[in-house]
Amino acid sequence: MPDFACLNGQIIRIEDAFVSIEDRGYQFGDAVYEFIESFNYQIFCLDEHLKRLETSMELIDFPSVSIPELKDQIIKLFQVSEYARAGCYLQISRGVEPRAHSYTNRVPPQITMTIKDLSRLDTDVNTKGIRIRTCEDYRWGMCHVKTVQLLPAALEQHRARKAGLADTVFISKEGHVLEGTCTNIFMIKGQTLITHPLDNHVLPGITREVIINRICKKEKIAVEERPYQIHEFYHCDEAFLCSTVMKIQPIIQADGEKIGHGVPGPLTKKIQAFYDQLIYRS
Per-residue pLDDT at 126: 73
Read off φ and ψ for residue 57, nearest 5 degrees. Answer: -65, -40
Contact 214, 48 (CB under 8 A): no
pTM above 0.85, yes or no: yes
Burial class (CB in 10 A: 0-12, 13-18, 19+), 102: exposed
Domain boundaries, the chain: 4-117, 130-279
Bridge partners of 195, per DSSP, are: 225
Per-residue pLDDT at 281: 77
Fold match, 4-117 / 130-279:
no
Q: 130-279 falls under which CATH superfamily?
A: D-amino Acid Aminotransferase, subunit A, domain 2 (3.20.10.10)
Tens-digit pLDDT profile for the chain (282 aa)? 779 999 999 999 999 999 999 999 999 999 999 999 999 999 999 999 999 999 999 999 999 999 999 999 999 999 999 999 999 999 999 999 999 999 999 999 999 999 999 988 765 567 799 999 999 999 999 999 999 999 999 999 999 999 999 999 999 999 999 999 999 999 999 999 999 999 999 999 999 999 999 999 999 999 999 999 999 999 999 999 999 999 999 999 999 999 999 999 999 999 999 999 999 875
- pLDDT per residue as tens digits for the range 108-153: 999 999 999 998 876 556 779 999 999 999 999 999 999 999 999 9
Dmax of the chain from CA atoms? 57
CA gap 253, 273 in Å, rounded: 22
Q: Residue by residue, what is the 3-state secondary structure of the chain? A: CCCEEEECCEEEEHHHCCCCCCEHHHHHCCEEEEEEEEECCEECCHHHHHHHHHHHHHHCCCCCCCHHHHHHHHHHHHHHHCCCCEEEEEEEECCECCCCCCCCCCCCCEEEEEEEECCCCCCCCCCCCEEEEEEECCCCCCCCCCECCCHHHHHHHHHHHHCCCCEEEEECCCCEEEEECCCEEEEEECCEEEECCCCCCCCCCHHHHHHHHHHHHHHCCEEEECCCEHHHHHCCCEEEEEECCCEEEEEEEECCEECCCCCCCHHHHHHHHHHHHHHCCC
CA gap 210, 204 in Å, rounded: 11
Reply yes or no on whether 146 is catalytic: yes
Instruction: Residue 254: name the closest of 231, 271, 273 by CA.
Output: 231
Fold of 4-117: D-amino Acid Aminotransferase; Chain A, domain 1 (3.30.470)
Catalytic residue among 51, 71, 128, 146: 146
Bridge partners of 222, per DSSP, are: 192
Contact 278, 214 (CB under 8 A): yes
